[in-house]
Amino acid sequence: GAGVSQSPSNKVTEKGKDVELRCDPISGHTALYWYRQSLGQGLEFLIYFQGNSAPDKSGLPSDRFSAERTGGSVSTLTIQRTQQEDSAVYLCASSLQGAGETQYFGPGTRLLVL
């Protein structure tokens, strides 16, 4: 079946602009995660959605970052007033039920803030 998909694959924006990144998880997966990967670095957890529960936003680096998940499926990560340090690859992952399970990653969105 189809894997996790993300769009756009690349995004170039100017400092101060808002951006929206989209994630389509694997059908039937109730858990969805956003991670950030800076160049040559590891994966930094941002936010986690599980079913209808309140999301775990503990990894969001600032209030400029927000995310939502509509209808328990598609998720959008929004970065307001982008800064150059926001430049990174933003990866989405999904798993069947959540904690302690295999996470399947999307191809990522490469964000460049000029």
Partner 1 sequence: GENVEQHPSTLSVQEGDSAVIKCTYSDSASNYFPWYKQELGKRPQLIIDIRSNVGEKKDQRIAVTLNKTAKHFSLHITETQPEDSAVYFCAASRSSARQLTFGSGTQLTVLP
Is the Cβ of residue 14 or residue 100 nearer to partner 1 in the bound state? 100
Is the Cβ of residue 82 or residue 103 nearer to partner 1 in the bound state? 103
Residue 74 C-beta: closest distance to partner 1, Å: 18
| 59: contact with partner 1 by CB under 8 A | yes
DSSP assignments along 40-81, one per residue: T--PEEEEEEETTSPPB-TT--STTEEEEESTTS-EEEEE-S
Map residue 85 onto helix, strand or coil. Answer: helix
Q: Which stretch binds partner 1 (CB under 8 A): 15-23, 41-49, 65-73, 78-86?
A: 41-49
Residues 112 and 78: their CA atoms lie apart, in Å, by: 14
Residues 92 and 76: their CA atoms lie apart, in Å, by: 10
**Which residue has 């039937």 as its token pair?**
28
Contact code string over 90-109 relative to partner 1, x by CB under 8 A: -x------xxxxxxxxxxx-
Q: Contact positions toward partner 1, by CB under 8 A? A: 33, 41-43, 45, 48, 50, 56, 59, 91, 98-108
